[in-house]
Structure 1
């Protein structure tokens, strides 16, 4: 397989120099850029050809490298050939740095060289850089005519400077593939279901498809997806794996899986990308880029830093990145992104692929079949994607900003005040329209165009204004509001039929929300940037729902594995005598606390009970502690840092001498991603069916899907709620020797609407009609159940 090097990647890596200046980065979305490209391309003459694929093969040290990319346009004229490169950004053309223009021209020069190589009859080519300033729609065109000799010299020098890195990549790839060839599954045996899942993943990669895989808790999803993907990489089916997750805990499990395979002989470069605000050094905070020693001269120190890192390390965790960034005085966040270009496995958050504002441009500016996506806990992507493609802006900060900008302040800005007042007037008109119609809120399928126009002009002004300011509280406050407005405008550019605009009047303030009700088309577009994807979770039922909302296509594959554990190791008990609807909650408090007491009385141990809200949790916990003060309890808090979360989990010790009952929230930090094996947890109770609270925005989702497929309530309320229930229940049985009870405290669980959603391993559920029956059933379960032996496969979190 020939190693592919993208032209943009090649040019940027070789030609970048000097400082890292983030203030120059554009905030445009890929979709907006693509729309502008198409618009400009369609306006060209008939002899203009857009998206021209150009390539050449370079051989060095016995290895072939494919240098390839797409020129935005090629036009044949009477005077010769024009090759066009289109760039879009927020900045004015005259404000672009010299290095930025060097990179732009570097790309088009490579395209010019490749075009002349395909047309030996031509001696020169005209290169045209077309620059589109998004805020003003001003177009700047500049041209250069270069000869074949000039372009050949440029390209040769470019490749010669990159030769070390090309050779390094080839050597890394050769060692990687050799180690993969000898790599066996890193456990003595496959756990039930693992071999089947691994085979399905491999076949998906081979066929360039998407696979939606439900693998119940205990299957060992991480190793069952990474192992076959890495084996496929060794056979040159793919070149890079992106392991995308929603939580730090699952990123750590992926790191552990790679480390485990590495301990069995795998030689591979993996990297974990950490959020910018978490990995940056404390001394970088509140420092302008031009004063930040880790950004000044960043590109001048980058290559030595990368050489040092890649020569000595294989697993590039946060700690490793920070160590080498400190050693070479480079910004750790940007350093991790640059290092990722040389990595085979990239472990990162969903937003690096799916978020339209922060996606990885160096990988996802265009489709690349060398990339493959493994998307862990894919059920979390539904709500995350809605958030990524939605935006909110309010007039609430404006009054304080105007006050800060008053002329008697240290840095007066009459112009800023004037622009802020224009924005405030736009909100005032929205508020007046609501008041005239005596409405607290209004919903429209149309984008808020008048507000968007105002904010675009405001953003343009603030972009220039911030470049002239010194650090101050005013600058910090304006910057925060600017980013809110900028995000709102960028999301407005994506507006389509899946959106609704909700305008809310709350007291004297107006809030406008652009709500993406169905992000599936956007997810589909992101997934098309690779050769395929596996979206997997313990809970992807019903499969048709998740395929619909997560960008599945008609060709997408689906695979559901049975639980690897004996179903009778857990009792599923549905209480028909408990009602938890809002109207019935107060009347059922006594039944709930008595049922919890029955759950924990038959055997000393650790238990968790989950509630749909903190308010309900607090109500039941207070009543339980009043009735049973001798029972030790603990509770999840609304805000918990990493230390307090760990302290909560540390209370659940193996084989406790006293019973512990923990109170948690459905869909919260303890309802998934925690691993309390064996006697650390022997019972889980779930109060209510987990429906999201009724609210106007979720009702909009309901109405949208009612129109789409008649299943609005299911898509907006029932299925997300049931997923939270299944995730919480999944905390119980984590290995073959685990046993325990799942107590479902809501009579609705016994209705056909919910029973049809039960997973296969809940087939032995029992309906309980009274407290005495519950106590007897629990006692009988503990008398009859016997634990199964453990095995080595279960001793590692990634198994």
Structure 2
């Protein structure tokens, strides 16, 4: 299989030069650009062909490369051939940099070269650049005529300059594939179910399908998906793997999987992408690009920096990227993106594929069946996707910005004040609508078009205003509000039947929310940009729910693995004598305290107790400590940073000589993604079935799915809550030697509605009708564990 190189990628890599001046903040979205393209293309004559795929094969250093791209339009008439390239941006055509013009014309000149190769009887072609300034609806057209000889020379020059990089790609690929051929599985033996999972992943890649996998904790999901994907890559089935995650800790696990295979001889390039605000150097903060030494002359230093990096490193983790970025004085974030073009495995956050505002355009501007997606902990994508496709804006910060913007002799800001006041008047009109109706909130299925128009005008002003300002408190506050407004406008352009607008007033301020209730269509489109995907998690039950809400109900396969550990290593105890509904909480407090005491006093060790809210946690913790002051406790707190989180976990030591009870929030930072192996954790209690708090926005999700499939309560409340329960319970059994107790404190767990959602390895759950029965059952469990250990 020949390596495919996009025409845009080739042109930008060779022709970019000078400073890295980040793209001006644009109100454009990919959807807006595509819409403009379609409108212009449909207005052309019958002789006009849209989206014409052009390609050629170049042989360098004994390897074939397909140079390919899609021309926006080609027109064949009696007068000859014309190729149109359509570009959209907020900037005026005359304000574009010389290098931007070179890149635009460079791209269409390559199309011209390829088109003339297909038309041997034609010696010249007309190239047309159609530029749409979106914020002014202004169209500029420029035409140039090139001969076959001119375009042949241009293409030859491009390829000659890219020669080193083509050869490097060929050498790296040959080295990679040779190292994969005999690459062994990086463990002495497969765990139960691991070989089957790896085989299913390999087949999914081979047949370009989409596979949902539920693989319980301990299956070894990361290596079981990465290893077969790497094997398929070595056979040229795919060219690049994207390993997408929700958390930094999961990215480290993926890095560990690559490191394991590298220790057995694997030679491939992997990179971990880090968010811009986390990886940029401290001295880059609050510095204009034109004054930033890591951006000035960036493209003049980029190629030597890449050559140095790719020659000496295989695993391009954050520290490695930072080391070479500082050595060559290049911006580390942009450097990582440019380096990713030469990488085989890209480990990154969900948003680099799914987020409509920050996705990687260099990879996902069009579909590419050489890319394959591994999506880890995919249960997190449900809520993340709703957030990505939703936005809100209010008027609460306008007064503070206006105060900073009071004109003075050094920095008059009259224009900014007028722009902000126009925005505030729009919010005031919305407030009057609510007041006149005697309401504090309104809901509508249409986008807030009048407010969107106001914000579009504000964004146009701010885009120019910010470019003229020096960093200051006013600049920071106005910029932050502008970014909020940009997001709001872009999301407003995405409205379909899955959206609702919610306008809320507290009497003083107004917030307008654009709520995406069902992002499944958007997710499906993103996943369709690759050859296929494996989406996996320890908890994906019921599978049909996740296939539906993640956009793959009609075109995906499902695979569920049993737990690799003996089910009887953990006791699943369901108390039928406790009700935790809001009105029953005062009456059940004593029974909960007694039940928790029975759990944590039967055996000295470490325990985690999970509650549906901080309020409920605080209530039970205070009562527990009052009743049992001699038992050591600790608790999760709001807004814990990485250091505080690690300090909390460090309290749970192996072989403790006294019991420690940790109070945590269900669905919070300690209910998934932590690994307390062995006797660092021997018991988990979960209070309530974890239903999200009832609120108007979740009710909108409920109403939407009631209309769609009649399962509104399940989709909005029950299934997200049960996933949190299963994730928290999954903290307990992490290895073959782990044993312990999961105590479910809510009688609803014993109902058919919930037992139907229990995973297979919970088949031995027991229902408990009283505290004495609970005490006896727990004592018996630990007695049997002792007997089994002695035997």
Deviations for 1:230-272, whole angstroms, at most 9, x for unmatched residues? 0000010000000000001110000000000000111110000
For 2:396, the equivalent position in structure 1 comes to 396
Deviation at 1:191, TM superposition (A): 0.1
Deviation at 1:462, TM superposition (A): 1.0
Unaligned runs of 5+ in 1: 790-799
Alignment of 1:554-703 (within 5 A): 554-703=554-703
- Give the distance between the partners of 1:760 and 1:52, measured in 2 at CA: 51
For 2:502, the equivalent position in structure 1 comes to 502
**Structure 1 consecutive aligned stretches of length 4 or more whose deviation exceeds 3 Å:** 786-789
- Give the distance between the partners of 1:635 and 1:127, measured in 2 at CA: 67
For 2:50, the equivalent position in structure 1 comes to 50
Unaligned runs of 5+ in 2: none
For 1:469, the equivalent position in structure 2 comes to 469
Whether the 8 Å contact between 1:422 and 1:454 is mirrored in structure 2 is yes
- Give the distance between the partners of 1:788 and 1:395, measured in 2 at CA: 65
- Give the distance between the partners of 1:219 and 1:690, measured in 2 at CA: 25
- Give the distance between the partners of 1:676 and 1:402, measured in 2 at CA: 51
Deviation at 1:25, TM superposition (A): 5.4
Alignment of 1:107-122 (within 5 A): 107-122=107-122
Q: Secondary structure at the match of 1:72?
A: strand
Whether the 8 Å contact between 2:71 and 2:83 is mirrored in structure 1 is yes
- Give the distance between the partners of 2:719 and 2:137, measured in 1 at CA: 44
- Give the distance between the partners of 1:132 and 1:263, measured in 2 at CA: 52
Deviations for 1:496-554, whole angstroms, at most 9, x for unmatched residues? 10000000011211100000000000000000100000000000000010000001042
For 1:447, the equivalent position in structure 2 comes to 447
Does residue 722 (structure 1) correspond to residue 734 (structure 2)? The answer is no
Whether the 8 Å contact between 2:24 and 2:463 is mirrored in structure 1 is no
Deviation at 1:409, TM superposition (A): 5.9
Does residue 202 (structure 1) correspond to residue 202 (structure 2)? The answer is yes
Whether the 8 Å contact between 1:524 and 1:552 is mirrored in structure 2 is yes
C-alpha change, 1:126 and 1:28, in structure 2 (3 Å) is same
- Give the distance between the partners of 1:64 and 1:636, measured in 2 at CA: 57
Deviation at 1:403, TM superposition (A): 2.4
For 1:796, the equivalent position in structure 2 comes to none
Deviations for 1:172-204, whole angstroms, at most 9, x for unmatched residues? 000000000010101111000100110110000
Does residue 185 (structure 1) correspond to residue 185 (structure 2)? The answer is yes
For 1:12, the equivalent position in structure 2 comes to 12
Deviation at 1:32, TM superposition (A): 1.9
- Give the distance between the partners of 1:589 and 1:345, measured in 2 at CA: 51
C-alpha change, 1:786 and 1:21, in structure 2 (3 Å) is farther
| Structure 1 range deviating more: 731-740 or 35-44 | 35-44
For 2:39, the equivalent position in structure 1 comes to 39
Deviation at 1:27, TM superposition (A): 5.0
- Give the distance between the partners of 1:710 and 1:246, measured in 2 at CA: 30
Deviations for 1:450-480, whole angstroms, at most 9, x for unmatched residues? 1111111111111111122222222211111
- Give the distance between the partners of 1:312 and 1:667, measured in 2 at CA: 42
Does residue 29 (structure 1) correspond to residue 48 (structure 2)? The answer is no
Q: Secondary structure at the match of 1:669?
A: coil
For 1:797, the equivalent position in structure 2 comes to none
Deviation at 1:439, TM superposition (A): 0.5
- Give the distance between the partners of 2:562 and 2:112, measured in 1 at CA: 56
Deviation at 1:292, TM superposition (A): 0.5
Does residue 413 (structure 1) correspond to residue 413 (structure 2)? The answer is yes
Deviation at 1:77, TM superposition (A): 2.7
Whether the 8 Å contact between 2:544 and 2:553 is mirrored in structure 1 is no
For 1:172, the equivalent position in structure 2 comes to 172
Q: Secondary structure at the match of 1:585?
A: helix
Whether the 8 Å contact between 1:737 and 1:788 is mirrored in structure 2 is no
Deviation at 1:23, TM superposition (A): 4.6
Deviation at 1:492, TM superposition (A): 0.5
| Structure 1 range deviating more: 732-741 or 15-24 | 15-24
For 1:237, the equivalent position in structure 2 comes to 237
C-alpha change, 1:787 and 1:697, in structure 2 (3 Å) is farther
For 1:331, the equivalent position in structure 2 comes to 331
Deviation at 1:400, TM superposition (A): 2.1
- Give the distance between the partners of 2:371 and 2:592, measured in 1 at CA: 50
TM-score (norm. length: structure 1): 0.98
Deviations for 1:633-675, whole angstroms, at most 9, x for unmatched residues? 1111111111111111111111100000001111111100111
Q: Size of the alignment, in residue pairs? A: 789
- Give the distance between the partners of 2:574 and 2:255, measured in 1 at CA: 38
Does residue 321 (structure 1) correspond to residue 324 (structure 2)? The answer is no
Whether the 8 Å contact between 2:217 and 2:563 is mirrored in structure 1 is yes
Alignment of 1:368-383 (within 5 A): 368-383=368-383
Whether the 8 Å contact between 1:737 and 1:787 is mirrored in structure 2 is no
Deviations for 1:86-131, whole angstroms, at most 9, x for unmatched residues? 1111222122111111111111010011001100111111111111
- Give the distance between the partners of 2:22 and 2:98, measured in 1 at CA: 15
Deviation at 1:57, TM superposition (A): 0.4
- Give the distance between the partners of 1:422 and 1:166, measured in 2 at CA: 54
Whether the 8 Å contact between 1:569 and 1:786 is mirrored in structure 2 is no
C-alpha change, 1:727 and 1:409, in structure 2 (3 Å) is farther
- Give the distance between the partners of 2:70 and 2:619, measured in 1 at CA: 61
Q: Secondary structure at the match of 1:713?
A: helix
| Structure 1 range deviating more: 666-675 or 412-421 | 412-421
| Structure 1 range deviating more: 458-467 or 45-54 | 458-467
Deviation at 1:29, TM superposition (A): 2.2
Whether the 8 Å contact between 1:738 and 1:788 is mirrored in structure 2 is no
C-alpha change, 1:302 and 1:92, in structure 2 (3 Å) is same
C-alpha change, 1:115 and 1:553, in structure 2 (3 Å) is farther
Deviation at 1:405, TM superposition (A): 2.1
- Give the distance between the partners of 2:429 and 2:639, measured in 1 at CA: 37
- Give the distance between the partners of 2:525 and 2:23, measured in 1 at CA: 28
- Give the distance between the partners of 1:327 and 1:448, measured in 2 at CA: 49
Q: Secondary structure at the match of 1:785?
A: helix
C-alpha root-mean-square deviation of aligned residues, in Å? 1.1
Whether the 8 Å contact between 2:25 and 2:463 is mirrored in structure 1 is no
Alignment of 1:4-403 (within 5 A): 4-24=4-24, 26=26, 28-403=28-403
